[in-house]
Structure formats: C-alpha cells, structure tokens
Amino acid sequence: MPGSGPLDRSTTWPYGSGVWCRKEMVLPMVSDENIVSMYEGDTNLFWADRYGKQLGLSDLWIKQCGTSHTGSFKDLGMTVLLSTVKQMIAAGKPVRAVACASTGDTSAALAAYGAAAGGSAFSLPPSLAKSQATRPCSGKPASAHARHTLLSRPREARER
C-alpha cells in the first residue's frame, strides 16, 4: 500500500536520480521541489577485461555516461547547477537567466536542464569557437546546436 512503508529512495522523486539519491552529500540545502532532474546518472558500468589486461589490471570497469539525456556526463553537473538556481529564485534572489559560453556538451546540457526547469537558459558560442557553432559537436548530430539554441531561448523570443 503506497505511503504505508518506509520511503523508497530508489524510485521516489527526486531520489531515483544517480545524483540526487546522494542529496545529503551533493546539496542537502536544496528543497525537493526545487530539484531539476531527468533521472540522470546511474549509467552502466562495463567490464573491460581485455583492456584491463593491456593495462595490467585484473578487474577494470568503465563507466558509460554517453547514454544520458544529452549524451554527456555534463548532465550530472547541470542538474546541480539548475537546482541551485531554482532554489535561489525560490529564496527571492533575482536570477533572470543562466548562460554559458559553449558549442558542445555544456550548452546541450544547459539547454536541456534549463528547459526542464522552465526558466531562461542561453548558450552563447565562445568568440574563438565561432566556426564550430555550425558543425557537429562531440559526435552529436549537426542539428544539436540549433536544437538546444531553440530550447534555451527565452519565451518572448520564441513567440516572435
């Protein structure tokens, strides 16, 4: 019967996340209602027997973070960043937007978590990397930059 037993922290929001299941170690002061999560983390470990032997290791396991929502380990940090921002806003801090200068994994993660938070998030290509803004980043499809730019634009700009 739901609610009659102890809290199941493996599936109860937000503790099903590989980050937030360790909330006490990550960011204990963030209220559950301010956590921005897409159940990131807890990606697979793969046994790398042959590679381990080449390195002289008898038992090597490799963490595969490329199966996350944006295909990057950056999701693990972005959930913490956007949750912190959401907590700051709830406490009355005047945060109007979150921005980063990136053409790759950081901007994709910021766009995804910014959209999940329901706030404004901007991804600006660094001035030295303008040529990278229109080509695939980190093996992602060429539309990745356009997709996360559209997701991260403020509502007023999207409605024009």
pLDDT along the chain (160 residues), means of 10: 53 83 93 94 91 96 86 93 95 90 88 89 67 46 37 42
CA 12 from chain centre, in angstroms, equals 19
pTM above 0.75, yes or no: no
Selection from 116, 122, 118, 126 nearest residue 148 by Cα: 122
Structure tokens belonging to residue 37: 């999560």
Contact indicator for 74, 106 with CB cutoff of 8 Å: yes
Tell me the CA distances in angstroms from 69 to 4, 51, 57, 126, one per residue in order: 33, 27, 31, 24
Selection from 117, 78, 116 nearest residue 100 by Cα: 78
> What pLDDT score does 8 carry?
62
Residue 48: exposure state from Cβ atoms within 10 A (0-12, 13-18, ≥19): middle
> What pLDDT score does 50 carry?
96
> What pLDDT score does 14 carry?
82
